[in-house]
Amino acid sequence: MPPPAEPVPPAPPQLPDPPIYRDMVRAWADRGRTLPGRHDPEWVRLAAPFPGLGQFSGSRDPRRDGR
């Protein structure tokens, strides 16, 4: 019989950001800048796999001379 699992302590309460940081985040968001921990559609677009490449394969040249 496995030993009982130890209880996981609750996470400490998260303190609010200092006012200067909140103001900076608000100013960056108003200018459309990327913010830590927030969804970034441009990054998603840039990091997505390119759909046109498909599988890599050998040359399509029937002579296989590398062209």
Confidence of residue 6 (pLDDT cuts 50, 70, 90): confident
Query: Hey, how many other C-beta atoms are within 10 angstroms of the C-beta on 16?
Result: 8
pLDDT in tens, 16-59: 878 888 899 899 989 988 888 888 888 899 998 877 655 555 66
At 30 the pLDDT is 93
Q: Would you give the DSSP letter of residue 36?
A: T
**61 vs 18: which has the higher pLDDT:** 18
- Mean pLDDT within 3-20: 84
Cα(63)–Cα(67) distance, integer angstroms: 9
What pLDDT shows up at residue 31?
93
Token pair of 61 as six digits: 């040249």
pTM of the model: 0.41
